[in-house]
Amino acid sequence: MGDLMIFKNSDFFEVLKTFFLITLTALVGLSAYYLINVGNKHVDENKRIIIYSSKVKKLIIVLIPIILAMVLISKFSILKAVTGALIFSLALSIILNPMVNWFRSKGLKPAQAVIILYVIMLLVLIFLVLMVMPTFVGEFKIFVMSFDDYLVKLSNILEEFAINYRLDRFGLDAKNIDLDFSKFFADESILNNAGKWFDSVMKGFSGVTSKFFSLFLILVFTFFILSEKDMLIEKFIDVMPKQFKEDIDEYTELSHQINQTVVDFMKGRILMALFVGVATAIFLTIMDIDFAIIIGIVTFVADIIPYIGPFLGFLPAVFFAFIASPLKALIVAIVFMLIQWVENNIIGPKVLSDGVGLHPIVVLMCIIIGGGMFGVIGMIFAVPAVAIAYTVIKFFIEKRKL
């Protein structure tokens, strides 16, 4: 009976605590507003802090529903799943919208355009499963079965390196390198932790991509958003407050700016990642590096994440090259840096236009925070989300003089 309660006791107190913090924050804000108004009466006019009450009210009206929605979503798993699917669908709709518009320009109805796009995506997925996945799975099986051999080779290389360069002068006994190295990788706690980390990553990724319910919701939401876009916009305008309708042209301009920001970012990142992945796979194949296809695919997927992603492909490539030859590892590292230079300085500026307007430090912080909060998906979507917020703030500063 207790399981059927809408709120568990702990959930109720958490919600109560959240509302208390919101109320306390509101009181602090009102107190600051009151003190500023009192202080303005005792200073020169040119030194006064002007706060427009109408703008404060608008801000409160916007923030309260958002905060309440966030509290409810955080407490109910079904709301979290549906909201997550909806947000993902909105992002996917923005990415697919240019292709839908292209089909519509050929005389197709919106629903027909979306269906054709879905069929094309399905055919591409089938092609990848039939043509690419067997090679990927085959190489991955070989990698798993021969992992111990690679560790032995690496320990032998390190031992030979220690002997050739007389590292015993620094207290390192070359004869014990193999034993110490084997003990390091034989440590069950290390292997267990690595296994748990891998399992958690795979579960987090599969929870977004392979759960039938979430996938079904995403496909349905995306279909209706794209096919009923014009009607949804009209309905949204109908329910807008009168004062907002007066500025509908400005909000339309803002929506175009947001759409362009996201489309430029996602298209640019995908094209750049495709270049890096293909170039990496081809180069590693020419260099006869093991698991070139796997590393190329990993590099393609990881490169979608700015700054951090490329290292996820760089490390295994250098590792397997080092097993073959330290000189080959050096060549691989140099070529990887060259590929990154071409991506960031030649391809990047062309495909990303003027970019998202964010400083690299801000981008890096977005990736770290997004990854900490939402995992891999958070790392991918954190930058465009902040770019949208930046676009909105910049728009209102320019148009509204906020």
pLDDT in tens, 93-105: 877 887 888 888 8
Mean pLDDT of the 36-45 span: 70
Please check the confidence at residue 137 and state whether its pLDDT lies above 70. Answer: no
Predicted local distance difference test score (pLDDT) of residue 302: 80
pLDDT tens-digit series, residues 61-97: 777 777 777 777 767 777 777 777 887 888 788 778 8
Mean pLDDT of the 288-297 span: 78
Please check the confidence at residue 203 and state whether its pLDDT lies above 50. Answer: yes
Instruction: Say if CB 98 and CB 263 are below 8 A apart.
Output: yes
Cα→Cα distances 238→37, 38, 247, 248, 251, Å: 37, 41, 13, 11, 14
**Percent of the chain topping pLDDT 70:** 59
Q: Is 76 left (phi over 0), alpha (psi -120 to 50) or beta?
A: beta
pLDDT tens-digit series, residues 155-197: 666 666 666 655 555 555 555 555 444 454 454 444 455 555 5
Mean pLDDT of the 203-229 span: 74
Give CA–CA dist 237/225, Å, rounded: 16
Give CA–CA dist 84/273, Å, rounded: 25
Q: Quote the pTM value.
A: 0.55
Quickly tell me which residue has 């006019």 as its tokens. 45
Give CA–CA dist 53/208, Å, rounded: 43
Sorted by where each begins, the domain ranges of the chain are 1-75, 240-402
Mean pLDDT of the 199-227 span: 70
Predicted local distance difference test score (pLDDT) of residue 53: 66
Please check the confidence at residue 119 and state whether its pLDDT lies above 90. Answer: yes
**Percent of the chain topping pLDDT 90:** 2
Quickly tell me which residue has 């949204």 as its tokens. 236
Instruction: Say if CB 116 and CB 103 are below 8 A apart.
Output: yes
Predicted local distance difference test score (pLDDT) of residue 180: 47
The confidence band for 115, taking pLDDT boundaries of 50, 70 and 90, is very high
Quickly tell me which residue has 């109908």 as its tokens. 238
Tell me the three-class secondary structure of the chain, residue by residue.
CHHHCCCCHHHHHHHHHHHHHHHHHHHHHHHHHHHHHHHHCCCCHHHCCCCCHHHHHHHHHHHHHHHHHHHHHHHCHHHHHHHHHHHHHHHHHHHHHHHHHHHHHCCCCHHHHHHHHHHHHHHHHHHHHHHHHHHHHHHHHHHHHCHHHHHHHHHHHHHHHHHHCCHHHHCCCHHHHHHHHHHHHHCHHHHHHHHHHHHHHHHHHHHHHCCHHHHHHHHHHHHHHHHCHHHHHHHHHHHCCHHHHCCHHHHHHHHHHHHHHHHHHHHHHHHHHHHHHHHHHHHHHHCCCCCHHHHHHHHHHHCCCCCCHHHHHHHHHHHHHHHHCHHHHHHHHHHHHHHHHHHHHHHHHHHCCCCCCCCHHHHHHHHHHHHHHHHHHHHHHHHHHHHHHHHHHHHHHHHHCC
Predicted local distance difference test score (pLDDT) of residue 1: 46
Q: Which distant-in-sequence residues (6+ apart) come within 8 Å of 92 by Cβ?
A: 218, 222
The confidence band for 116, taking pLDDT boundaries of 50, 70 and 90, is very high
What letter represents residue 323's amino acid?
Answer: I
Tokens found for residue 253: 């301009």
Predicted local distance difference test score (pLDDT) of residue 138: 67
What mean pLDDT is reported for the chain? 72
Quickly tell me which residue has 């002068």 as its tokens. 169
Please check the confidence at residue 310 and state whether its pLDDT lies above 70. Answer: yes
Please check the confidence at residue 335 and state whether its pLDDT lies above 80. Answer: yes
Let me know how long the chain is.
402
